[in-house]
Amino acid sequence: MLIDLFLAFNDCSELLTYVSKLGLDVAGIRSDVLELCLDQLPQLQRSVAIVPRCIHESTQRSLLPPRRELRRCLPLCIPSDLQTARSLAKVSQSVVIALNVETLKFVDETQVNFMATSKVRKFIEVLLEPFIELARIDSKRMSLERALHFVGETIERCLKLDVGIFVSSYSPSIKRVLHPIHIDVLLQSLGFTKRERRLVLQVYPLEALRSWLGEEGWIRLR
Amino acid sequence: MDTLTLATLIVSVGALATSLLSIVIAMRTRSLQRVERSIERLREIAGTRRYRRMKRYVLLRVVCFEDVPIESFVKELVSKLYNCMGIALRARCGLALAAYRPDLGRAILRVSGDPQCLKFVLLTLSLRHFLDNVPCIAIPLRTSGLLTRLRKYLRVYR
């Protein structure tokens, strides 16, 4: 099963091309783009589960997305600072916390330790494309190798403590897309076993979906 | 001397012999390890190759966007991969296009060299399109040591 829970496409035709040519089973896309695609989606020849996604910039003032947004799409919370990230780890509600280049400093092993103590299941979503972009730009702050090392450490900690973590491509266009098999190869090069890769690429994303659809944390809001 | 004392004596002598034997075996093993280490050092000094040259075949699925012909992309794939891998890996890993079917969008790539090469080539295949801006992606589907096992996926049954 090929799952990519966040494709950051802006164009509906790109989603259709990607899904039809590369055969995803579950694809996540921003809810505003999905609304534009509703007429074209029946053209797809194969059955695909499309998940509406939305991004919430979490701050201390607005930690979680509003309720109506929770029902409409699977939210991804991007913490703005360390304090917000720690607060998100402790809320009594299922949340998906983003791990990208900006949040790498505070969504780390310590954050995973906090999340493991929470009673409600929480997830970390690794947005991979911004990390791969580091290979193209000469950043003095962070190298690709260093960034991937930290991501690997965080994933390893999550797997050890059974905190949900999954990797999404977050590709902005079809030219820079990362297929789930490519992500699998990348995880293999980081040293993860086949079982661990199945957990990250198949088991935890489906668990996050099941959780959002109302079996665990979000059901309390309905 | 009664029977019980004799039996105890025999058991204790047996235990002593076993312990002596185990000490001798341990010492021999250590000396063997030492010999192995010295052979390793000699190999390092002589500069002989310690790795086995391996050969693997990778089945690829090639998908192109924006009307780029698959055939031209597949023909240039090896040179594109070499460019991405850099000269250091190029010296250690060999790449060749073994077979391809543009109508099916499939190709078989031969990887030879160091056992780590396959890992590097798969990683390069996965990230290549980020660097060279060609709107085609190659997805590795299967890896095998035998070309005949992968040829059936190209629907070549000869």
* CB within 8 Å: B129 and A176: yes
- Encode pLDDT of B114-128 as tens digits: 888 999 999 999 998
Query: Nearest by CB to B130, which of A17, A174, A176?
Result: A176
Q: How far apart are CA B142 and CA B108, in angstroms?
A: 9
Residue A41 near chain B (CB below 8 Å): no
Angstroms from B150 CA to nearest CA on chain A: 18
Contact B130 A181 (CB under 8 A): no
**Nearest residue of A to residue B63 by CA position?**
A21
CB pairs under 8 A between A and B: 49
Select from A11, A19, A22, A181 the residue whose CB has the most chain B CBs within 10 Å, as the one to mutate to test that interface: A181
Strands B106-113 and B54-64: antiparallel
Taking CB atoms and an 8 Å cutoff, what residues of chain B touch A186? 123, 126-127
Could you read off the pLDDT tens digit of each residue along chain A, which spans 222 residues?
899 999 999 888 888 888 888 888 999 999 999 888 888 888 887 888 999 999 999 999 989 888 888 888 999 999 999 999 999 999 988 899 999 999 998 999 999 999 999 989 999 999 999 999 888 877 777 888 899 999 999 999 999 999 999 999 999 988 888 999 999 999 999 999 999 999 999 999 999 999 888 754 454 444
Which of B126, B131, B135 comes nearest A185 by C-beta? B126
Find the mean pLDDT for residues B32-52: 72
Contact B127 A177 (CB under 8 A): no
For residue B141, the chain A residues in CB contact (below 8 A) are 181
Mean pLDDT of chain B: 85
Q: How far is A15 from chain B (nearest CA, A)?
A: 12
Nearest to A181 among B119, B131, B140 (CB): B140
Identify the bridge partners of residue A54 per DSSP, sorted by sequence position: A75
Which one, of B154, B153, B127, lies nearest residue B138 by Cα? B127
The 3-class secondary structure across B48-90, one letter per residue, is CCCCCCEEEEEEEEEEECCCCCHHHHHHHHHHHHHHHHHHHHH
Q: Residues 156-175, chain A: which have Cβ within 8 Å of B? A: 174-175
Query: pLDDT at position A205, please?
Result: 95
Which of A13, A182, A193, A194 is the best residue to mutate to test the B interface, defined by the most B CB atoms within 10 Å of its own CB?
A: A182
Q: Is A22 on the interface with B (CB under 8 A)?
A: yes
Could you read off the pLDDT of A174-195 as tens digits, one per residue? 888 899 999 999 999 999 999 9
Q: Give CA–CA dist B4/B8, Å, rounded.
A: 6
Residue B1 pLDDT grade (very low, low, confident, very high; cuts 50, 70, 90): low
Residues whose CB falls within 8 Å of the CB of residue A77, separated by 6 or more in sequence, listed in order? A56, A58, A63, A64, A65, A88, A95, A96, A97, A98
Buried-state track B115-150, b at ≥16 Cβ within 10 A, e below 16: eebbebbbbbbbbbbbeeebbbbbbbeebeeeeeeb
Q: What is the pLDDT of residues B67-124, one digit of tens each?
A: 788 888 888 899 999 988 889 888 889 999 999 888 888 999 999 998 889 999 999 9
Q: The complex's ipTM? A: 0.84
Q: Is the pLDDT of residue B43 over 80?
A: no
Shortest CA distance from B131: residue in chain A: A136
Q: Residue B99 is inside which H or E element, if any?
A: strand B93-101
| Residue A177 at interface with chain B, using a CB cutoff of 8 Å | yes
Instruction: Quote the CA–CA distance of B15 and B28 in Å, as a whole number.
Output: 20
Q: Which among B139, B141, B142, B143 is the top mutation candidate for probing chain A, defined by the most A β-carbons within 10 Å of its own β-carbon?
A: B139
Owner of token pair 């000699």: B42
> Which residues of chain B make contact with A185, given a CB cutoff of 8 A?
122-123, 125-126, 140
